[in-house]
Amino acid sequence: MPKNRPSHRTNQLFVTLIYLLSVLLLLAVLYGFLSANGFARETFLIGAGVLSLAAFGLGYILSGDLLTPKWEMDERFAHLSREILH
Q: What is the per-residue pLDDT for 1?
A: 45
* CA–CA dist 83, 85 (Å, integer): 6
* CA–CA dist 15, 12 (Å, integer): 5
Angular region, 38: left φ>0, alpha ψ -120 to 50, beta rest: left
Residue 3 lies in a domain: no
Residue 22 lies in a domain: yes
How much is the pTM? 0.56
pLDDT classification of 4: cutoffs 50, 70, 90: low
CA dist 71 → 2, 3, 7, 19, 80 (Å)? 16, 15, 10, 19, 14
Residue 2 lies in a domain: no
* CA–CA dist 45, 42 (Å, integer): 5
Domain count for the chain, please give it: 1
Rounded mean pLDDT, 14-25: 83
pLDDT classification of 7: cutoffs 50, 70, 90: confident
**pLDDT, tens digit, 9 for 90 and up, residues 27-78:** 888 888 888 888 877 778 887 888 888 888 887 887 777 778 877 888 888 8
Max Cα distance, the chain (Å) = 69
Residue 1 lies in a domain: no
Q: Domain of 31?
A: 8-85
